[in-house]
Structure 1
Amino acid sequence: MRAIIFEEFGGPEVLKVVDRPEPQPGPGEVSIEVAYAGVNFADIKARAEGYRVESLPFLPGLEVSGRIRAVGDGVTGLTPGQEVAAFLNGGGYAEVTVAPAATVFPVPDGLDLRTGATLPSVLPTAYALLHDVARLRDGDTVLVQGAAGGVGTVAGQLARLGGAAAVYGVVSSFDKAEHALKSGYDQVFLTESFDTDVRAATGGRGVDIALDPVGGETFRRTLGTLGRFGRLVSFGNAGSEEPWQIGPGETYPLSVSVAGFSILAMAAADPARLRQIADLAFRTVTDGGVELPVSAEFPLERADEAHRLVESRTSTGKLLLQVG
């Protein structure tokens, strides 16, 4: 089978197309004939910095859609030929992959495999950030960094669907603003001035919820946009800066709280909870009209081009590799 691997860390050019034996499912696993693989920023950080890479060579890819090829011992409720979407800890950039059955989900009725590939990581992440970690309530105001990206595109819609009174987004350039405004955002601000813009938009009050995947100085400035009892959720360090640290001096004055979330950590430690969240999140697509538009699609052998587009910070929505 064809697969994409890297044998060293570096730029997109280290991605190689290779032939590999097809993997076979072990107990509690299924093998999947991959139709589409999602391209995520975590894949870029894995290739460039070794993020969550235990050894080389490494086969990236956190989410796929396709058809079940075979099931391992002990697997119930999943059958060969069934159309599924899956979340995995690497291995998705291949014609066949193996995934834990606990993180394999039947594609909801009415959705095709192309749409199915957008679901496994981004949608549960955005849903968990808002509902399980930040505890979104009717009337809350919400700020989302990276509003035109995959999680941002969904988070704006989910916040609106969940009863937010106002949803504000942050983008790196005005070229991305139109995309964000179509995804549930009331106003979109530029990175350079978002903190002062948020204060102006809220009459100085600040927001109830803020979501930040960037870290570093952006995290600090986002913390400063919270109002009293505000909740900030960090879910990444896209800026590759030093990990944040905060103390009573920053949280006590306005009684704000800061939390973190990692879907990779949840998938490894509590796949049953991830399945519960995914089931609820997928319903927002089938019942609530939430959409995650595919903005670009590449054949498997051009995975390097997909990575370059993500790193250019000009992409919006979701990027896919077409595999089968």
Structure 2
Amino acid sequence: MRTVQFAEFGGPEVLRTVDADTPAPGPGQAAIDVAYTGVNFADLKARAEGYRVPGLPFVPGLEVSGRVRALGAGVTGLAVGQEVTALTAGGAYAEVAVADAATVFPVPAGIGLRTAATLPTVLPTAHALLHEVGRLRAGETVLVQGAAGGVGTVLGQLAKAAGARALGVVSSPAKARYARQYGYDEVFVGDFAAGARAATGGRGVDLALDPVGGETFRASLDALATFGRLVSYGNASAAEPWRVGQAELFPGTRSVAGFSILTLAKEDPGALRALAERAFRLVADGTVTLPVTAEFALEEAARAHALLGGRTTTGKLLLRVGQD
């Protein structure tokens, strides 16, 4: 089978299309004939920095859509030939991917395999950030970094559906125009501290969601209102890990939490499954849409990485692998 892998860390050019043996599922796993693979920022960090890479060579990729090819011992609730979407622990840049059955989900009715490939990471992450971790309530205000990205596009829509006000932060006017189409009431380009305060009459935001870290994390913390919550779910800036204590949290009785969908999948797949099912229903009923804004052939993975790494993209990027 064809697969894309890297044997050293570096830029997009280290990605190579190679022939590899087709993997077979182990106990509790499913093998999937891949139709589409999602491209995520975590894939870029794996390639460039070794993020969650257990050894080289490594096949990146965290999410796929396709059809069940084979089932390992002990798997129930899935059938060969069934259309599914799955969260993987790497290995998704391939014609066949293997995933734990607990993170393989039937494609919701009315959704095609192309759209299904956008679901496994983005939808559960966005839902968890707002509701399970962020505890968003109607009438509150949420501040979202990266409002034009895959997760950000969903967060604006979910916040609107929850009766909340959504403020977004992006890096360009073009991204601001895009984000306003997906539930955001106001969008700031670059600096957001003064704008967030002004937009809330000086009180600050109730919930801030940060995948960037570093100075953005600190500015988001400062933007919180009394009883405000900040949820960190990434470190795109590659800054030193954040540290907060009494001096930062006691004034205003603020709180900080974290979320990682990959950690949740490893430590509590049952919780992830319940979360994903709640999130997927919002796509099936039309509450949320996640546009695919760029699509590449599998062997063009380096182009997809270069585009995503340029920080000019909006929405979701996919690799087209097999038949949909």
Q: Scaled by the length of structure 2, what TM-score is found? A: 0.99
Once the two structures are superposed, residues 98-150 of structure 1 have per-residue CA deviations (whole angstroms, 9 ceiling, x without a partner) of: 10000000000000000000000000000001110011111110100000001
* Corresponding residue of 1:123: 123
* Corresponding residue of 2:170: 171
CA distance in 2, matches of 1:276, 1:150: 21
2:230 maps to 1:232: yes
* Corresponding residue of 2:274: 276
Q: Secondary structure at 2:203's aligned position in 1?
A: coil
Matches within 5 A, 1:212-291: 212-291=210-289
2:79 maps to 1:79: yes
> For structure 1, which runs of at least 5 residues remain unmatched after alignment?
none
User: By how many angstroms is 1:163 displaced?
Assistant: 1.8
CA distance in 1, matches of 2:112, 2:287: 15
User: By how many angstroms is 1:175 displaced?
Assistant: 1.3
8 A Cα contact 1:125 1:151, kept in partner: yes
* Corresponding residue of 2:13: 13
Letter in 2 for 1:205: R
* Corresponding residue of 1:155: 155
8 A Cα contact 1:161 1:288, kept in partner: no
User: By how many angstroms is 1:45 displaced?
Assistant: 0.2
Count of equivalent residues: 322
* Corresponding residue of 2:42: 42
CA distance in 2, matches of 1:86, 1:288: 21
Sequence identity percentage: 66
CA distance in 1, matches of 2:144, 2:170: 9
User: By how many angstroms is 1:289 displaced?
Assistant: 2.4
* Corresponding residue of 1:143: 143
User: By how many angstroms is 1:288 displaced?
Assistant: 4.1
Q: Secondary structure at 1:229's aligned position in 2?
A: strand
Runs of 4+ off more than 3 Å:
none
CA distance in 2, matches of 1:175, 1:70: 44
User: By how many angstroms is 1:287 displaced?
Assistant: 1.6
8 A Cα contact 1:168 1:186, kept in partner: yes
* Corresponding residue of 2:303: 305
Q: Secondary structure at 1:264's aligned position in 2?
A: helix
* Corresponding residue of 2:58: 58
2:24 maps to 1:24: yes
* Corresponding residue of 2:3: 3
Q: Give the CA RMSD over aligned residues.
A: 0.6
Letter in 2 for 1:172: S
* Corresponding residue of 1:205: 203
2:60 maps to 1:70: no
* Corresponding residue of 1:293: 291
* Corresponding residue of 1:319: 317
> For structure 2, which runs of at least 5 residues remain unmatched after alignment?
none
2:176 maps to 1:180: no
* Corresponding residue of 2:194: 196
CA distance in 2, matches of 1:15, 1:84: 27
8 A Cα contact 2:121 2:261, kept in partner: yes
8 A Cα contact 2:85 2:120, kept in partner: yes
CA distance in 1, matches of 2:253, 2:174: 36
Once the two structures are superposed, residues 198-242 of structure 1 have per-residue CA deviations (whole angstroms, 9 ceiling, x without a partner) of: 011111010000100000000000111100000000000000010
